[in-house]
Amino acid sequence: MNLWFTAFLLFFSAWSFAVEPIRFVVPNFPPYMHKKNGELAGEGISRVAKILKKAAIPFSFKLTTDYDRAIYEVKSGYSDGFFLASQNDERDKIAVFTKPVMQNAWCWFLLNSSYSDPESFKFKSANVGTILNTNTHKWLNKNEFISV
């Protein structure tokens, strides 16, 4: 009897209150999140949408330029959250980091073996390509690498 009553209350509660969709803002970060033929696409979009659909959580995604803009939108209340993002001090001030839905690995591809010591000045003075305002970009700058 108690189980039935609990189930009824949960059903009634869900039915009686309108649930607003969670508004996610996502930075343009190919190949994980980008527009393809006018639609949002990429592995990040697919994985998060699958999780939210399975949990029956209404949601919307909006593409923005970069992570700085995503953070601004959440701070300003225009969006409720953002992804795919790694944890850092700036993001921790405005949001709660969840368990990862995917991971990527940072790889270094070097033209010359003389760059093999990651602590050397020569290694850190090499130009490192990254996407502006990503956590990778911020980490490289914080650790005195030259990022472009």
Q: What is the tens place of the pLDDT at every residue in 50-85? A: 999 999 999 999 999 988 888 899 999 999 998 877
Kindly report, as residue ranges, where domains of CATH 3.40.190.10 are found in the chain.
Answer: 20-92
Give me the CATH code for the 20-92 domain, please.
Answer: 3.40.190.10
Tell me, rounded to whole angstroms, the distance of Cα 56 from its chain centroid: 20
Least-confidence region, from 9-13, 133-137, 143-147:
9-13
> Distance of CA 100 to CAs 88, 103, 146, Å?
14, 7, 28
Q: Does pTM surpass 0.85?
A: no
* pLDDT tens track for 26-36: 988 888 889 99
φ, ψ at 33 (rounded to 5°): -145, 120
Is the Cβ–Cβ distance between 123 and 117 less than 8 Å?
A: yes
